[in-house]
Amino acid sequence: MTSLYLRWGGLLIVAVGLSVLTYNHYQQHLSTVSPHQMKEQAPRQEIRLFGMVRGGTLEGKVKAGDATFELMGNDTSVTVHYQGPPPDNLRELKTLILIGKWNPSDNIFEARDIGLITNYGFVIGAYLIGLIPLAIFLFAMSRRVGLLYEEIKESKLYQEE
Amino acid sequence: MIIHRVIRKVQRFQGWFGSGAALCLIAGLYIGLVDSPPDYYQGEVVRIMYVHVPLAHTSLFAYIVLSVGSMWYLWKRDPIVDNMCHAVAALGAIFTTLALATGMIWGKPTWNTWWTWDARLTSYSVMLLILISYLMLRTFIDDHEKEARYAAVLAILGLVDLPIIHFSVEWWRTLHQPQSFSMRGVSMSSEILIPLMCMSIGMSLLFSYMLMVRTQLLYLDRLLHAKKGRLLSQFHMSQSDS
């Protein structure tokens, strides 16, 4: 039985490691900030800005991928200059994730791309529901096999008739 | 008998199946969750495919094993094969339930509904009902011989559902997307295919490993019951003699 617990302990450690890697990946590549957080933190590196295009502010050649508008979020708005691939989902009152850099000198967010809105909760839910019951079931079965072997050995039931 | 020798030989590699499953699943999880890019249309939700599709494939494979084993049992009346069928039905039911659950989670952000009476989803749920009926039959009939025979017949009758599940996306207009693997080729990019293959191989190995453990468990359980029963009857006989 000790080897069983050791094996499962090892697997648990690997699972925790993988979860940490996934969480870090999410934080680095998929997490978003609101206009309010961006103004507070004033980040220098590229960020993913999450908010809604304010109605009546969208100007420029939208179809050509060159537009200026205001992005709202948490009662704060920020002016965005988008210059990138022609967008198919940039319109007024649309909730978006913009990838780009904040320029504090002229208070403009320079966006170079529009990202997909992440549904990470569904992904985490599916993986937890898909894998944890299998692991628990397998552990319970392996443990029961070990216990049955021990019971048979101890009760001396397994002997020649 | 040949089947006994095959089962014993395969059982010897049980550890390899377990280790192989762990390695493939860890690699698949890493590539699927961290390394692979999001899909252009589905976004991050595509990552659910790396767990849903392998679970669904494995559950179908489990049902094929169950029905072939049941045919073999009806032909040869081999108790070891019957034991394996009993084990595979429980595992099949678990894999089917989990595939349905993960499919529902994928359906909500993609189709905007948890469930729809789509041909693929309905025929797949019928398979779960057949597996549950199989397990109920095995639980509620006292005569072991009858229990095994009736269950084997049910499993073979249920085989009708398998082609319906497979071809449902072609026979009817369904919400479920058509097959990605077909005679016409593979209709997905390598960035999605690699984690999917890793997870599918890992899940198949995991299923094989779990099948070995469960078959062993059922065998030991029956052995213990039979031995205890025999000891008890010996004790009663000695009591009545004295």
Global ipTM = 0.84
CB A79 within 8 A of CB A68: yes
B144 inside domain: yes
Q: List, for residues B86-120, the tens digit of each pLDDT value.
A: 999 999 999 999 999 999 999 988 888 898 898 89
Are the C-beta atoms of residues A114 and A90 closer than 8 Å to each other? Answer: yes
Is B10 part of a structural domain of the chain?
no
Angstrom distance (rounded) from CA A64 to CA B191: 29
How many C-beta atoms lie closer than 10 Å to residue B64's C-beta?
Answer: 13
Residue B239 confidence (pLDDT): 67
> Does residue A47 share a domain with residue A111?
yes
Nearest one of B113, B59, B45, B54 to B89, comparing CA atoms: B59
For chain B, list residues whose CB is within 8 angstroms of any CB belonging to chain A. 22, 26, 29-30, 33-34, 38, 43-45, 47-48, 51-52, 55, 94, 98, 101-102, 105-106, 108-109, 206, 209-210, 213-214, 216-217, 220-221, 223-224, 227-228, 230-231
What is the CB-side half-sphere exposure of residue A143 using CA atoms within 13 A? Answer: 9
DSSP label at B43? B
Read off the pTM: 0.82
Is B185 contained in some domain?
A: no
pLDDT for the residue B28? 92
- Count of structural domains, chain A: 2
Is residue B183 in some structural domain? no
- Within a domain: B3: no
Domain that holds residue B169: 17-176+190-231
**Residue B30 placed within a domain:** yes
* Cβ partners under 8 Å of residue B37, min gap 6: B191
Q: Which domain holds residue A126?
A: 2-25+120-154
Residue whose C-alpha is closest to residue A30's, from A52, A48, A51: A48
Tens of pLDDT along A11-49? 899 889 888 888 887 777 778 888 888 888 888 888 889
B42/A99 Cα distance (integer angstroms): 18
A159 in a domain, yes or no?
A: no
Backbone CA torsion sign across B185, B191, B192, B195: positive
- Is there a domain that residue A77 lies in? yes
B176 sits in which H/E element: none
